[in-house]
Structure 1
Protein backbone atom coordinates (compact mmCIF):
# COMPACT_ATOMS: atom_id res chain seq x y z
CA UNK A 1 0.00 0.00 0.00
CA UNK A 2 2.82 2.37 0.85
CA UNK A 3 4.32 1.92 -2.62
CA UNK A 4 1.16 3.37 -4.17
CA UNK A 5 1.99 6.75 -2.61
CA UNK A 6 5.32 6.71 -4.48
CA UNK A 7 4.28 5.11 -7.77
CA UNK A 8 1.40 7.47 -8.62
CA UNK A 9 3.38 10.72 -8.07
CA UNK A 10 6.32 9.22 -9.97
CA UNK A 11 4.07 8.45 -12.96
CA UNK A 12 2.69 11.99 -12.75
CA UNK A 13 6.26 13.38 -12.69
CA UNK A 14 7.18 11.37 -15.80
CA UNK A 15 4.08 12.64 -17.64
CA UNK A 16 4.86 16.24 -16.68
CA UNK A 17 8.44 15.83 -17.91
CA UNK A 18 7.22 14.49 -21.26
CA UNK A 19 4.78 17.41 -21.54
CA UNK A 20 7.55 19.92 -20.74
CA UNK A 21 9.79 18.28 -23.32
CA UNK A 22 7.01 18.55 -25.93
CA UNK A 23 6.44 22.24 -25.16
CA UNK A 24 10.16 22.99 -25.44
CA UNK A 25 10.48 21.01 -28.68
CA UNK A 26 7.56 22.78 -30.39
CA UNK A 27 8.74 26.18 -29.16
CA UNK A 28 12.19 25.51 -30.60
CA UNK A 29 10.67 24.35 -33.92
CA UNK A 30 8.59 27.52 -34.26
CA UNK A 31 11.54 29.72 -33.31
CA UNK A 32 13.79 27.99 -35.88
CA UNK A 33 11.16 28.48 -38.58
CA UNK A 34 10.92 32.19 -37.76
CA UNK A 35 14.70 32.65 -37.68
CA UNK A 36 15.38 30.77 -40.93
CA UNK A 37 14.22 33.68 -43.07
CA UNK A 38 12.61 31.30 -45.58
CA UNK A 39 9.03 32.08 -46.48
CA UNK A 40 6.50 30.71 -48.93
CA UNK A 41 2.91 31.29 -49.85
CA UNK A 42 0.74 28.43 -48.60
CA UNK A 43 -2.86 27.56 -49.27
CA UNK A 44 -5.10 26.53 -46.40
CA UNK A 45 -6.56 23.19 -47.48
CA UNK A 46 -8.69 22.45 -44.45
CA UNK A 47 -9.70 23.91 -41.11
CA UNK A 48 -11.33 21.90 -38.36
CA UNK A 49 -11.76 21.82 -34.61
CA UNK A 50 -11.26 19.15 -32.00
CA UNK A 51 -12.83 19.16 -28.58
CA UNK A 52 -11.74 17.56 -25.34
CA UNK A 53 -13.37 17.31 -21.99
CA UNK A 54 -17.08 17.20 -21.36
CA UNK A 55 -19.20 15.60 -18.70
CA UNK A 56 -18.03 17.10 -15.43
CA UNK A 57 -14.87 18.57 -17.02
CA UNK A 58 -14.53 21.86 -18.84
CA UNK A 59 -14.79 21.52 -22.62
CA UNK A 60 -11.89 22.92 -24.63
CA UNK A 61 -11.85 23.43 -28.40
CA UNK A 62 -8.69 23.55 -30.52
CA UNK A 63 -8.59 24.94 -34.04
CA UNK A 64 -6.43 23.08 -36.59
CA UNK A 65 -5.36 24.12 -40.09
CA UNK A 66 -3.87 22.03 -42.88
CA UNK A 67 -1.57 23.99 -45.21
CA UNK A 68 0.31 23.14 -48.38
CA UNK A 69 3.19 25.07 -49.94
CA UNK A 70 6.10 24.59 -52.31
CA UNK A 71 9.68 25.09 -51.09
CA UNK A 72 12.27 27.01 -53.11
CA UNK A 73 13.60 23.65 -54.29
CA UNK A 74 10.17 22.78 -55.72
CA UNK A 75 9.17 20.24 -53.07
CA UNK A 76 5.48 20.21 -52.15
CA UNK A 77 4.98 20.18 -48.38
CA UNK A 78 1.77 19.67 -46.45
CA UNK A 79 1.60 20.30 -42.71
CA UNK A 80 -0.95 20.70 -39.97
CA UNK A 81 -0.82 23.36 -37.28
CA UNK A 82 -2.83 23.66 -34.08
CA UNK A 83 -4.04 26.90 -32.62
CA UNK A 84 -3.97 29.05 -35.72
CA UNK A 85 -5.99 32.14 -36.55
CA UNK A 86 -9.76 31.71 -36.57
CA UNK A 87 -9.97 34.08 -39.55
CA UNK A 88 -8.13 31.67 -41.88
CA UNK A 89 -10.53 29.48 -43.85
CA UNK A 90 -9.92 26.82 -46.51
CA UNK A 91 -8.76 28.42 -49.75
CA UNK A 92 -6.98 31.34 -48.06
CA UNK A 93 -3.37 32.09 -48.93
CA UNK A 94 -1.05 32.72 -45.97
CA UNK A 95 2.67 33.27 -45.54
CA UNK A 96 4.48 30.40 -43.86
CA UNK A 97 8.00 30.32 -42.48
CA UNK A 98 10.05 27.15 -42.51
CA UNK A 99 13.56 25.88 -41.77
CA UNK A 100 15.43 24.78 -44.91
CA UNK A 101 16.35 21.36 -43.54
CA UNK A 102 12.85 20.48 -42.23
CA UNK A 103 10.15 22.31 -44.21
CA UNK A 104 7.46 20.07 -42.67
CA UNK A 105 8.11 21.95 -39.41
CA UNK A 106 6.74 25.15 -40.93
CA UNK A 107 4.47 27.59 -39.16
CA UNK A 108 1.85 30.03 -40.36
CA UNK A 109 2.07 32.01 -37.13
CA UNK A 110 3.51 35.50 -37.55
CA UNK A 111 6.85 36.01 -35.75
CA UNK A 112 6.38 36.97 -32.09
CA UNK A 113 9.41 35.77 -30.13
CA UNK A 114 8.34 37.53 -26.92
CA UNK A 115 4.88 36.00 -26.98
CA UNK A 116 6.34 32.55 -27.70
CA UNK A 117 8.86 32.90 -24.86
CA UNK A 118 6.19 34.12 -22.43
CA UNK A 119 3.81 31.29 -23.29
CA UNK A 120 6.54 28.68 -23.06
CA UNK A 121 7.81 30.13 -19.79
CA UNK A 122 4.34 30.12 -18.22
CA UNK A 123 3.74 26.51 -19.21
CA UNK A 124 7.14 25.44 -17.91
CA UNK A 125 6.51 27.32 -14.64
CA UNK A 126 3.20 25.51 -14.24
CA UNK A 127 4.87 22.15 -14.94
CA UNK A 128 7.62 23.02 -12.43
CA UNK A 129 5.11 23.85 -9.69
CA UNK A 130 3.22 20.65 -10.45
CA UNK A 131 6.45 18.59 -10.31
CA UNK A 132 7.49 20.28 -7.07
CA UNK A 133 4.09 19.41 -5.60
CA UNK A 134 4.58 15.74 -6.55
CA UNK A 135 8.03 15.69 -4.94
CA UNK A 136 6.74 17.47 -1.81
CA UNK A 137 3.92 14.95 -1.56
CA UNK A 138 6.35 12.03 -1.76
CA UNK A 139 8.62 13.63 0.87
CA UNK A 140 5.60 14.19 3.14
CA UNK A 141 4.42 10.62 2.69
CA UNK A 142 7.92 9.33 3.40
CA UNK A 143 8.11 11.41 6.58
CA UNK A 144 4.66 10.25 7.65
CA UNK A 145 5.53 6.58 7.19
CA UNK A 146 8.88 7.09 8.97
CA UNK A 147 7.12 8.62 11.98
CA UNK A 148 4.53 5.85 11.95
CA UNK A 149 7.30 3.21 11.90
CA UNK A 150 8.97 4.89 14.91
CA UNK A 151 5.75 5.26 16.92
CA UNK A 152 4.05 1.97 16.14
CA UNK A 153 5.59 -1.25 17.50
Structure 2
Protein backbone atom coordinates (compact mmCIF):
# COMPACT_ATOMS: atom_id res chain seq x y z
CA UNK A 1 0.00 0.00 0.00
CA UNK A 2 2.83 2.38 0.87
CA UNK A 3 4.33 1.90 -2.58
CA UNK A 4 1.27 3.52 -4.14
CA UNK A 5 2.09 6.75 -2.30
CA UNK A 6 5.55 6.73 -3.85
CA UNK A 7 4.94 5.29 -7.31
CA UNK A 8 2.00 7.48 -8.34
CA UNK A 9 3.59 10.80 -7.30
CA UNK A 10 6.83 9.55 -8.83
CA UNK A 11 5.05 9.16 -12.16
CA UNK A 12 3.66 12.69 -11.76
CA UNK A 13 7.21 13.97 -11.20
CA UNK A 14 8.33 12.25 -14.41
CA UNK A 15 5.42 13.81 -16.33
CA UNK A 16 6.30 17.23 -14.93
CA UNK A 17 9.97 16.96 -15.83
CA UNK A 18 9.21 15.67 -19.33
CA UNK A 19 6.72 18.52 -19.78
CA UNK A 20 9.33 21.12 -18.83
CA UNK A 21 11.93 19.59 -21.14
CA UNK A 22 9.55 19.36 -24.12
CA UNK A 23 8.27 22.91 -23.58
CA UNK A 24 11.76 24.39 -23.35
CA UNK A 25 12.96 22.38 -26.36
CA UNK A 26 10.09 23.53 -28.60
CA UNK A 27 10.43 27.12 -27.43
CA UNK A 28 14.13 27.01 -28.24
CA UNK A 29 13.44 25.56 -31.70
CA UNK A 30 10.93 28.30 -32.51
CA UNK A 31 13.18 31.06 -31.19
CA UNK A 32 16.19 29.79 -33.16
CA UNK A 33 14.09 29.51 -36.33
CA UNK A 34 12.98 33.13 -35.93
CA UNK A 35 16.49 34.45 -35.21
CA UNK A 36 18.77 32.26 -37.33
CA UNK A 37 16.53 30.38 -39.71
CA UNK A 38 15.38 30.85 -43.25
CA UNK A 39 11.97 31.83 -44.50
CA UNK A 40 9.82 30.23 -47.15
CA UNK A 41 6.32 30.61 -48.48
CA UNK A 42 4.06 27.79 -47.32
CA UNK A 43 0.54 26.82 -48.17
CA UNK A 44 -2.00 25.76 -45.58
CA UNK A 45 -3.21 22.36 -46.74
CA UNK A 46 -5.64 21.72 -43.94
CA UNK A 47 -7.09 23.45 -40.92
CA UNK A 48 -9.04 21.58 -38.26
CA UNK A 49 -9.91 21.62 -34.57
CA UNK A 50 -9.84 18.99 -31.87
CA UNK A 51 -11.80 19.13 -28.63
CA UNK A 52 -11.22 17.53 -25.28
CA UNK A 53 -13.11 17.55 -22.03
CA UNK A 54 -16.84 17.85 -21.56
CA UNK A 55 -19.29 16.48 -19.06
CA UNK A 56 -18.04 17.61 -15.66
CA UNK A 57 -14.96 19.41 -17.07
CA UNK A 58 -14.63 22.39 -19.37
CA UNK A 59 -14.25 21.82 -23.09
CA UNK A 60 -10.93 22.80 -24.65
CA UNK A 61 -10.62 23.38 -28.39
CA UNK A 62 -7.25 23.28 -30.17
CA UNK A 63 -6.73 24.67 -33.66
CA UNK A 64 -4.38 22.72 -35.95
CA UNK A 65 -2.86 23.73 -39.31
CA UNK A 66 -1.05 21.49 -41.77
CA UNK A 67 1.45 23.41 -43.93
CA UNK A 68 3.62 22.47 -46.88
CA UNK A 69 6.60 24.41 -48.20
CA UNK A 70 9.73 24.00 -50.27
CA UNK A 71 13.15 24.60 -48.69
CA UNK A 72 15.86 26.60 -50.41
CA UNK A 73 17.42 23.26 -51.41
CA UNK A 74 14.17 22.20 -53.12
CA UNK A 75 12.98 19.68 -50.54
CA UNK A 76 9.20 19.61 -49.97
CA UNK A 77 8.34 19.62 -46.27
CA UNK A 78 4.97 19.13 -44.63
CA UNK A 79 4.40 19.88 -40.94
CA UNK A 80 1.57 20.40 -38.50
CA UNK A 81 1.37 23.20 -35.96
CA UNK A 82 -1.11 23.74 -33.14
CA UNK A 83 -2.60 26.96 -31.82
CA UNK A 84 -1.85 29.03 -34.88
CA UNK A 85 -3.88 32.05 -35.95
CA UNK A 86 -7.57 31.41 -36.53
CA UNK A 87 -7.50 33.64 -39.60
CA UNK A 88 -5.40 31.16 -41.62
CA UNK A 89 -7.65 28.94 -43.75
CA UNK A 90 -7.04 26.09 -46.18
CA UNK A 91 -5.34 27.41 -49.31
CA UNK A 92 -3.84 30.49 -47.63
CA UNK A 93 -0.16 31.26 -48.07
CA UNK A 94 1.94 32.12 -45.02
CA UNK A 95 5.60 32.72 -44.24
CA UNK A 96 7.30 29.91 -42.36
CA UNK A 97 10.54 30.03 -40.44
CA UNK A 98 12.79 26.96 -40.41
CA UNK A 99 16.31 25.85 -39.67
CA UNK A 100 18.05 24.25 -42.67
CA UNK A 101 19.34 21.35 -40.53
CA UNK A 102 15.80 20.36 -39.46
CA UNK A 103 13.13 21.83 -41.74
CA UNK A 104 10.38 19.61 -40.29
CA UNK A 105 10.41 21.70 -37.09
CA UNK A 106 9.30 24.86 -38.83
CA UNK A 107 6.85 27.39 -37.49
CA UNK A 108 4.30 29.58 -39.20
CA UNK A 109 3.85 31.75 -36.13
CA UNK A 110 5.07 35.31 -36.72
CA UNK A 111 8.10 36.35 -34.64
CA UNK A 112 7.09 37.46 -31.16
CA UNK A 113 9.91 36.73 -28.71
CA UNK A 114 8.14 38.34 -25.75
CA UNK A 115 4.95 36.40 -26.29
CA UNK A 116 6.93 33.16 -26.71
CA UNK A 117 8.87 33.83 -23.49
CA UNK A 118 5.69 34.64 -21.55
CA UNK A 119 3.87 31.55 -22.80
CA UNK A 120 6.86 29.32 -22.14
CA UNK A 121 7.27 30.79 -18.67
CA UNK A 122 3.63 30.10 -17.79
CA UNK A 123 3.75 26.50 -19.00
CA UNK A 124 7.07 25.84 -17.24
CA UNK A 125 5.71 27.40 -14.03
CA UNK A 126 2.69 25.10 -14.21
CA UNK A 127 4.88 22.01 -14.60
CA UNK A 128 7.20 23.13 -11.79
CA UNK A 129 4.28 23.63 -9.39
CA UNK A 130 2.83 20.29 -10.52
CA UNK A 131 6.16 18.57 -9.85
CA UNK A 132 6.69 20.30 -6.50
CA UNK A 133 3.20 19.28 -5.40
CA UNK A 134 3.95 15.64 -6.27
CA UNK A 135 7.29 15.81 -4.42
CA UNK A 136 5.57 17.42 -1.43
CA UNK A 137 2.96 14.70 -1.42
CA UNK A 138 5.72 12.08 -1.43
CA UNK A 139 7.45 13.86 1.45
CA UNK A 140 4.28 14.00 3.53
CA UNK A 141 3.53 10.34 2.78
CA UNK A 142 7.07 9.40 3.80
CA UNK A 143 6.73 11.37 7.03
CA UNK A 144 3.40 9.75 7.87
CA UNK A 145 4.62 6.23 7.14
CA UNK A 146 7.85 6.82 9.08
CA UNK A 147 5.88 8.11 12.06
CA UNK A 148 3.53 5.12 11.86
CA UNK A 149 6.53 2.76 11.89
CA UNK A 150 7.83 4.46 15.05
CA UNK A 151 4.57 3.72 16.86
CA UNK A 152 4.13 0.17 15.56
CA UNK A 153 4.49 -2.55 18.22
Query: TM-score normalised by the shorter chain: which range applies?
Result: over 0.9
Q: Counterpart of 2:99 in 1: which secondary structure?
A: coil
Structure 1 runs of 4+ off > 4 angstroms? none
Indicate the residue corresponding to 1:143 in structure 2.
143
2:122 corresponds to: 122
2-side partners of 1:26 and 1:120: how far apart? Answer: 9
1:131, distance to aligned residue in structure 2 (A): 0.9
User: TM-score normalized by structure 2?
Assistant: 0.95
Q: Could you tell me whether the CA contact under 8 Å between 2:65 and 2:81 is conserved in 1?
A: yes
1:101-112 alignment, distance < 5 Å? 101-112=101-112
Shift of residue 25 of structure 1?
1.5
User: Which residue of 2 is the match for residue 22 of structure 1?
Assistant: 22
Q: What residue number does 1:65 align with?
A: 65
Q: 1:80-106: per-residue Cα shift (whole Å, max 9, x none)?
A: 111100000011111111111111111
Q: Which residue of 1 aligns with 2:46?
A: 46
- Report the secondary structure of 1:114's partner residue: helix
Provide the aligned C-alpha RMSD in A. 1.1
The TM-score with structure 1 as length reference comes to: 0.95
2:12/2:134 contact within 8 Å kept: yes
* Contact kept in structure 1, 2:46 and 2:66, CA below 8 Å: yes
What residue in structure 1 maps to residue 92 of structure 2? Answer: 92
Number of the residue aligned with 2:79: 79
The answer to whether residue 132 in structure 2 is matched with residue 132 in structure 1 is yes
Q: Structure 1: which 5+ runs fail to align?
A: none
Report the secondary structure of 1:105's partner residue.
Answer: strand
Are residues 138 and 30 of structure 1, via their aligned partners in 2, closer, same or farther at CA, if it must alter by over 3 Å? same
Shift of 1:57: 1.8
